[in-house]
Amino acid sequence: MTTRNDTALDLFHLLPDQRILVCRACKAGVVPQHLVTHIRAHHRRLYPDFGTKRSTAEWVKNRLLTSLPCELLDPLAESIPVPPPDTKAFPVLKLHVGYGCTHCPIVSKREEEIRRHYNICHAEVRRGRGGAVANSRGIMQKRLNSEHYGDQPPCQPAFY
């Protein structure tokens, strides 16, 4: 007989090649350090084991982590492997629309972050804070951007 408590292990989906847990309800990756916090903030009403922080932490340690076939990736101790840009999206993760750097695989929700990244990492000459573009409009802004970024724009629409 299956109880609601037994199905609690179905709360997460493991991506074994990446060693990442994905919350099935939220469709978001959850790092090991945030498992208890994530469950308590979003799912504690679903299962009796999540009644207190202590019981949730015990469930994560004794039931969830011990049931996994591999050790989870710890982003504080090792770098997260970034798949190539042409890789198909993982169906268990929520897809977001954002911007990607045209010079490397960095993506972000905000275009301004990618432009800042480009300025720091890829520009031949760094533009000062705000640069001349902040106060320019129209044709002048296009000319300044062209001089700074060259023929290839710093970012383009991307999914992440």
b/e burial code for range 121-159 (CB count within 10 A of at least 16 → b): ebbeeebeeeeebeeeeeeeeeebbeebbeeeebbeebe
116: domain range? 97-159
How far apart are alpha carbons 120 and 64 in whole angstroms? 41
* Cβ–Cβ < 8 Å for 156, 149: no
Please check the confidence at residue 104 and state whether its pLDDT lies above 90.
no
For the chain, give the percent of residues with pLDDT over 90.
Answer: 22
Total of domains in the chain = 2
In the prediction, which pLDDT does 112 show? 87
Backbone torsions φ then ψ of 2, nearest 5 degrees: -95, 125
Q: Are residues 61 and 104 in the same domain?
A: no
Q: Say how many C-beta atoms besides its own lie within 10 A of residue 22's C-beta.
A: 19
Highest mean pLDDT pick, 19-23, 115-119, 129-133: 19-23
